[in-house]
Structure 1
């Protein structure tokens, strides 16, 4: 696949984020180690009972959600491109003794590190994942390779509309129907105060692009939900309107912040 430069740059900046994220209030590792879940109310309701299920978590960062799923009784495998993140995930797993394992790989190279003979009851994707992927058709093929017949793909993700906006003016600045890679300099992360000053590369994908890989394979759409709030305080100048539902302080109109998708194979 192309985009070697982009993948390497993104891996570098995600490695640089880990230390600050682990120490951040947003990720609350201290609370997690004391038994709190990192999963939000949206995905907890969306995934249902996962006890006894095998779950593949793609783009898992340093593994809090992967480990939270294991705490719910699932056997989990988490994958991420960042070796620094995976090292931290393994450290947390070892300390907690949970039924989880981790793979360090570019998502598109997963077959080189995890046999497709491994089958899962669920593939799980959450929050800020697909924007790092140039090819959602191949993403769908990968998910299909690891999902057993009758298994479910569940995703809770940023609504693509959010990515079209300038977050200072709230005016559309990026193409919704987009085929090109965007490059931006990142000064700091969305969690923690670690200075980055690094380039990042990302892609905007429409809802159609997200759903087409599964509809084209005959998957059954079990759930589709748009949410007018964000579960993380991950953008500048957000307010908590109650129950951990965050919106832009300066924006007076209702916009979609998140989507949920669930497909059954």
Structure 2
């Protein structure tokens, strides 16, 4: 029997739990809040403090905790403090579980529109992203069987930042190409469970996967498309100058994963 311990049960965690149960997995979830989902055994606990004993034989631990805010301290708590407690708990277990860390494509520091894959250097400029790299390295150097999951920007119901930009009527002007990388949130959850099920079937599991759709796109192109769909006239020029990269999901694609929303057009048309 496969039992997943899911640490964090927010938007993404809830979708992971639902998808896992649909595939017959038993889901135990640890979170601070008392709310849970039907069928999920809840352990109400702060994962930054020593973990309680868990009766179920855990085969996979998924760390899916979002920081409380964008500060370095919040990132340290979510990624490094929890890592230490998770490792301490894992070392006491009779069964060697596989650890899955939900990280981010922000670990790649490339800034000139380059393509990045899982073997690209992780040299980010932002301090929060450097904390993510430290958390990844904690696990990759731990001797614990583990996989880094690196989602691009999540979008979907309740995550409609680009729609808000489009509705604001901004005409995006890019002196240099600004690329965006994204994955629809239900596709992200499905990809994580897909990888977990492959591992349980004894198939080779790499130590990292980028979770993105198959079509990085220019920021101006995405906003223009949304404005066309919403019948909004862009009447205020808005210059966007920032560094960017293009994230390859080729490794995920090679596992046979099937996207419901392989590009931004299919994803946003579904939302609209």
Q: TM-score by structure 1 length?
A: 0.44
Normalized per residue, the structure richer in strand is 1
Q: TM-score by structure 2 length?
A: 0.43
